Amino acid sequence: MIYLNHFGLREAPFGITPDTSFFFACASSQEALNTLLVAVANGEGFIKITGEVGTGKTLLCRKLLATLADSCVTAYIPNPNLEPRTLLMALCDELHVEVDDDLDQHRLHKALNLALLDFARERKRVVILLDETQAMPLETLETLRLLTNLETEKRKLAQVILFGQPELDKNLAHESVRQLRQRITFQHHLGTLSREELAHYLEHRLSVAGYLGDRVFTGPAVRAIQRATGGVPRVVNILAHKTLMLAFGEGVRQVRARHARAAIADTPAANSFPKRNWAWLAIAGTVAGSGIGWLMLK
């Protein structure tokens, strides 16, 4: 990353790949994590977390996985857009249940149920986390419900956490999965960052990346980013990365409103300002002058 040395950073602070070391406990994310931990501790069957695109569902999922690592047996399915038998096979893989590839759905269910009973005898709690569940077919959702039917007198043998976009709620409203819908005991909808939270979010990620200097993002820059993104973390990260590139291109160590406006104009997901490409010419000139010819120019 070309601006790391300029800002005294160890790593890129605004990547869009979920990284739990950058987890920011804003009000909505912390409430969601607390809800999940309480629900898991209580042995509830189904838990649901929804949120718009880019609000941090996958990061929250991975944060929970890291938190539960020593206390539970976990199975993580990142893309559950699978037909029922394939999902059962994926769960067998995640839970290290050895099965033949040609087993039918009934026998896969039986193998998983036996494995869950074994985990219960060992006093191990099983938590299944499924991301992007708005894409899960209805018949696969019903398969999950059947899998959680097995229980002791005290608790379910497997807990299922569904992470998905708001379209998941539309799917769960379908008559064919009403039994599953009734079993969702805890739920939370992830919100976006407020302007105050956004300022702290930017500082937090810079600090995690190793920044030790004075404040980088000015108030007007933060306000411009807030207006353009609505506080959606993924889009905030894209704009913040571009503004650091622009500040580097000018040889300054502070991000101002003009940098934010230029980044916004170049970003399709942030459409509060008209599109212009002239802003990147400043970087082009600086980079060309310093002999770095591999920077992407617009």
Tell me what the mean pLDDT of segment 33-41 comes to.
93
Res 94 pLDDT > 70: yes
Q: The pTM is what?
A: 0.86
3-state secondary structure of 289: helix
Q: Which long-range contacts (CB under 8 A, 24 or more apart) does 66-69 make?
A: 66/20, 67/33, 67/37, 68/40, 68/127
Structure tokens that stand for 253 in this block: 């160590």
Among candidate residues 192, 245, 231, 2, the one with its CA nearest the CA of residue 260: 245
Rg (CA), the chain: 23
Residue 105's CB: how many other CB atoms inside 10 A? 16
What angle in degrees, to the nearest 10, is found between the helix axes of 257-265 and 233-250? 120
Instruction: Answer yes or no: are the C-beta atoms of 2 and 245 closer than 8 Å.
Output: yes
Tell me what the mean pLDDT of segment 149-160 comes to.
76
Strand 159-164 and strand 125-130: pairing? parallel
Q: For 104-119, how does the pLDDT look when each residue is reduced to its tens digit (9 = 90+)? A: 998 998 999 999 999 9
Cα–Cα distances in angstroms (integers) from residue 129 to residues 49, 78, 134, 290, in the given order: 11, 8, 13, 48
Cα 63 to Cα 58: distance, rounded to the nearest angstrom? 8
Tell me what the mean pLDDT of segment 250-264 comes to.
96
Q: For 134-153, how does the pLDDT look when each residue is reduced to its tens digit (9 = 90+)? A: 999 999 998 888 887 776 65
Identity of the amino acid at 175: E
Give the pLDDT band (50/70/90) at residue 274: very low
Considering only 43-47, 74-78, 182-186, 282-286, which range has the smallest mean pLDDT? 282-286
Structure tokens that stand for 20 in this block: 């739990």
Query: What are the residues whose beta carbons fall under 8 Å from the beta carbon of 248, sequence distance 6 or more?
Result: 2, 3, 6, 7, 283, 286
Q: Which long-range contacts (CB under 8 A, 24 or more apart) does 95-100 make?
A: 95/126
Tell me what the mean pLDDT of segment 7-29 comes to.
95
In this prediction, residue 157 carries a pLDDT of 87
Average pLDDT of the chain is 88
Cα 62 to Cα 233: distance, rounded to the nearest angstrom? 16
**Domains of the chain, earliest start first:** 27-190 (3.40.50.300), 194-289 (1.10.8)
